[in-house]
Structure 1
Amino acid sequence: MKTRPVDFILSGFFTILIFSLSLFPMSVFSRILTAPAFGDYHIVIDSLLFLLLYGLWSAAILRLMMVFKPFPPGEYSMDDRLFTYWKLFTVIYEFGKGALLPFTTVFAKPLIAKLFGASIGRDIALGGHLVDPQLIQIGDEAIIGHDSVISAHTINSGTIVLKPVVIGARATIGVHAVLMSGVSVGEGAVVAAGSVVPPDTSIPANELWGGIPVKKIKSL
């Protein structure tokens, strides 16, 4: 993946910006409340507050980025400005998501994903990892298995492809499954554990698919 000096400059600028936006209110809060209330242990509370603020500021900046310049689906060269923009978005997302790890319980994962731009339905179980949440849609009551990976981008030699991934209501993605850009999974469909779903694969509703690469096993 091509990396240029502008990538380091932009990433460094936004990292410092979010760090500063999180540090200042944390230090004020520490002087006013946590230091008097918790004594020498206030550093633990202050550290958690800083991480929470860092994650929330990261999410807020990413949502603003999506408002002013969303990601149009398509194939782009690694010299394209959109590729630079995608790398910046990804760096902010990864750092922000990492900062929120102490608060990311199994029940909070859908909320965190929605915070960073994913379209999340009601009552889903999210045990997997979402890459490019701004291009991922998950329907009501879907199950995303533990350590599965859903990625809305595919990087080939010299290009990056960005396409939405859509998972229908009540669909099930098995543990350790991998879904790539442009994949759609119909309502009530099941992707078996450990399967790899190649780019642009469309799995109809109420079917079981599995394998590497996936193929239809049976109707449900």
Structure 2
Amino acid sequence: MRAIPPRHIVVFLCLLGASLALAVASAAAFGCLPLGDFRGVLVLLAGVVLLYLWAFALYRLFLRVMPLREGDVAPGSPQELVANVNMLFYLLLFNSLVRSHVVPVPLMRVVYLALGARLGANTYSAGALLDPPLTRIGSNTVIGHDAVIFAHVIEGERLELKAVVIGDTVTIGATAVIMAGVQIGDRAIVSAGAVVTKDTRIGAGEVWGGVPARRLKAAPAAPVEP
């Protein structure tokens, strides 16, 4: 794994510092309200929530100016800066939301959408989407408890970003792992605990499972017209 250059850390710290400053300024407004005996607790809670909201906003603004793109990330390139700032946001801030199991699953959908994931209607994740800007999931899909989906490849010094694309009405079982570059067709099922290795293509209606995952059941045959 590459070391993160100091200048990339400085960029992240500037964004984090701006988020913190905006959160403190916003939370100060709560001090003027008649909050009763729990004023300090309520102001602190408001500050934490506001910190995340401002961090979401500045994170998305950063990615709008410098988008996270698929492909090999060359050392010293502008895309390396984007990838490292994205990584630092997750390691130091967003990971506590994604991994804590404190935030209810319906609310986590809102969090993932705020972080740039593309989620269709009625799609929810009880697992972790580690690269929301590169995660595209259709409608009526469920990600099981503690499943993990990520869109980055780290192999020694090599870093590559590959989007994960999942179709409609897909079921990802609990604790399954979906690696970078995977594409899953509509109505497919990935069994609990399966590890779908990078760049795997799962066809519509297929059932996959195992470590590494392999096809367990082909898609149902189309009905024959009389």
Please report the TM-score for the alignment, with normalisation by the length of structure 2: 0.89
Contact 2:143-2:171 within 8 A present in 1 as well: yes
User: Who is 1:77 aligned against?
Assistant: 74
SS at the partner of 1:20?
helix
Change (3 A) 1:193 1:17: same
| Alignment map for 1:81-96 (pairs within 5 Å) | 81-94=78-91, 95-96=93-94
Change (3 A) 1:103 1:198: closer
Q: Which residue identity lines up with residue 8 of structure 1 in the other structure?
A: I
User: Who is 2:153 aligned against?
Assistant: 154
Cα distance in 2, alignment partners of residues 80 and 152 from structure 1: 19
Contact 2:137-2:165 within 8 A present in 1 as well: yes
Cα distance in 1, alignment partners of residues 23 and 198 from structure 2: 38
Residue deviations 1:92-123 (CA, integer Å, cap 9, x gap):
24514636969721221111100110001111
Cα distance, 1:162 vs structure 2: 0.5
Q: Does 1:5 align with 2:6?
A: yes
Cα distance in 1, alignment partners of residues 118 and 82 from structure 2: 21
Contact 2:112-2:132 within 8 A present in 1 as well: yes
Cα distance, 1:84 vs structure 2: 2.4
Unpaired runs of 5+ residues, structure 2, are 220-226
RMSD of aligned alpha carbons: 1.9
User: Who is 2:224 aligned against?
Assistant: none
User: Who is 1:98 aligned against?
Assistant: 96
- Count of residue correspondences: 216
Change (3 A) 1:38 1:90: farther
Q: Which residue identity lines up with residue 172 of structure 2 in the other structure?
A: I
Cα distance, 1:23 vs structure 2: 0.5
Cα distance in 2, alignment partners of residues 130 and 99 from structure 1: 11
Q: Does 1:66 align with 2:67?
A: no
Change (3 A) 1:97 1:26: farther
User: Who is 2:223 aligned against?
Assistant: none
Please report the TM-score for the alignment, with normalisation by the length of structure 1: 0.91
